[in-house]
Amino acid sequence: MESGVTLEQVCELCKLCAGIMLANGAETYRAEETVNKLGEHYGLDEVEVLAIPTGVFLTLRAGTEQRNALRRITRRTIDLEKVDQANTISRALVEGRMELSDATAQLKRMECAAAPGGWQVPVLVGLSGGFFALMFGGGWMDFLLGVVAAGVTQVLARVFAKEPFSTFVTSLAGSALIAVIAQGGCRLTGQGTPGTIIIGAIMPLLPGLAMTNAIRDTMRGDLVSGVARAAEALLVAVALAVGVGVVLVADRLVWGGGL
């Protein structure tokens, strides 16, 4: 055990660092590896860590002193900026370029920091929906409606962000809204292809990362993480499909299809 550092402090640091990584979209093995590296750096005799998407368990031992800790993760988002910062901090600690107390303070501040709001997210994600529509072979009308649909969905996501079940509700309502805008816009203007617009605008909502991570975690032998991520990804994918499907069925009933 390094002098001038208590086990309590190391435990707090590991808990914060792994918690931030898991809650913001890092792989589970990265969170575990970070704790292992930190434990090794501070000369602990035993480091056991189990990270799953919904929480992280730690057992740290130095000599005869032992600490167990559990951090529950209830809200999972993707915030790669925070993953990068937590990674930079742990790297600086291991290389001896940073004091433990500074690191803990920084991580604490980071954990409480809310994602910045403002107009950027809806506008930029809206644009990406338009570009995706173009990428799938759409025309200028598809681009415009894609921008509107993807942008409005992000505003909706902002409204629901604080509610329980926010991921599910956002996916369901968001994809339904996208389908309404795409079908309605094409019917009103008589131009564009709804399919291309829907696919383009739905791209930002797809759980591609979760699905890929799920299969990868399972392959690595992290079975609990794999199943948990797969369940999350499947839930979102089904919500997206049902949202679009409901609107398509309604459209067929009212106008008898076509388009």
Partner 1 sequence: MSIAVQIVCCFLATVTFSVLFRTPRKSVLLCGGIAALGYALYLVLGNNLWSYYAATLLIALLGEVCARWRKMPAVIFISTAVVPLVPGTGLYYTMLRLVENDYAGAGQTGAFTLLAMGAMALAIATNALLVRWFFPRKKAKNEC
Q: Which is nearer to partner 1, 80 or 101 (CB)?
A: 80
| Total number of residues that touch partner 1 (CB under 8 A) | 56
User: Under the criterion CB under 8 A, does residue 40 sit at the interface with partner 1?
Assistant: yes
The arrangement of strands across the sheet holding 55-62 comes to 46-52, 55-62, 65-72
User: Under the criterion CB under 8 A, does residue 212 sit at the interface with partner 1?
Assistant: yes
User: Under the criterion CB under 8 A, does residue 158 sit at the interface with partner 1?
Assistant: no
Relative orientation angle of helices 140-160 and 166-189, to the nearest 10 degrees: 150
What are the C-alpha distances in Å from 230 to residues 53, 215, 259?
11, 7, 34
User: Under the criterion CB under 8 A, does residue 2 sit at the interface with partner 1?
Assistant: no
User: Under the criterion CB under 8 A, does residue 161 sit at the interface with partner 1?
Assistant: no
CB of 93 to partner 1, least distance (A): 15
With CB under 8 A as the contact rule, the residue among 69, 124, 155, 235 that binds partner 1 is: 124
With CB under 8 A as the contact rule, the residue among 66, 87, 106, 166 that binds partner 1 is: 87
Q: Which amino acid is at 70?
A: L
Q: Which is nearer to partner 1, 25 or 55 (CB)?
A: 25
> Quick one: three-class SS letters along 26-69?
CCHHHHHHHHHHHHHHCCCCEEEEEEECCEEEEEEEECCEEEEE
Show the tokens assigned to 185: 């816009």
User: Under the criterion CB under 8 A, does residue 193 sit at the interface with partner 1?
Assistant: no
Q: What is the DSSP string of 92-136?
A: HHHTT-S-HHHHHHHHHHHHHPPPP-SSHHHHHHHHHHHHHHHHT
Residue 68: beta bridge partners? 59
CB of 225 to partner 1, least distance (A): 14
User: Under the criterion CB under 8 A, does residue 227 sit at the interface with partner 1?
Assistant: no
User: Under the criterion CB under 8 A, does residue 248 sit at the interface with partner 1?
Assistant: yes
Nearest to 193 by CA among 252, 148, 139: 139
- Site mask, partner 1, residues 47-76, x = CB under 8 A? x-----------------------------
Classify strands 46-52 and 55-62 as parallel, antiparallel or unpaired. antiparallel
Residues that bind partner 1 (CB under 8 A): 25-27, 30, 36, 40, 45-47, 78-84, 87, 91, 115, 120-121, 124-125, 127-128, 131-132, 134-137, 154, 195, 198-199, 202-204, 206, 208-209, 211-212, 214-216, 219-220, 237, 240-241, 244-245, 248-249, 252
